Amino acid sequence: MKFGIVVNEGPYTHQASDTAYNFTKAALEKGHEIIRVFFYHDGVNNATRLTVPPQDDRNLQKLWSELAEAHKLDMVVCIAAAQRRGILDENEAKRQGKDADNIAPAFRISGLGQLIDAGIKADRLVTFGD
């Protein structure tokens, strides 16, 4: 089965990001295909490389990046939601006149068209969070 995943919540404010990660990992382990993981609303906070959780806590940004690298996942961060929350890649930082970027490895910024595309290509679009 082909899944599209939507993550609407940040990594430490709600269980949705953990659940989305665990669902995605389990689906891949069972041989399913993940068309795309789309981070929207506060879910874009999963994509900052500046997250520094306590040493005894999980690092969801790192976990997502490692899973994406291992399985060649397309991990898209909504550009509008990202800009509102200060998540920028190198190109967007330059375009907005900012002196730094903070997007983590394996994530990329794009628009809502990527969400629509995932919904069209996937057998199921599964949403985590409000």
Which positions are annotated as active-site residues?
A: 78
C-alpha to C-alpha distance for 2 and 125, rounded to whole angstroms? 9
First to last CA, the chain: 24
3-state class (DSSP) for residue 74? coil
In angstroms, the CA 17 to CA 43 distance is 7
Structure tokens at 52: 């520094």
Q: By C-alpha distance, which of 127, 3, 107 is closest to 62? A: 107
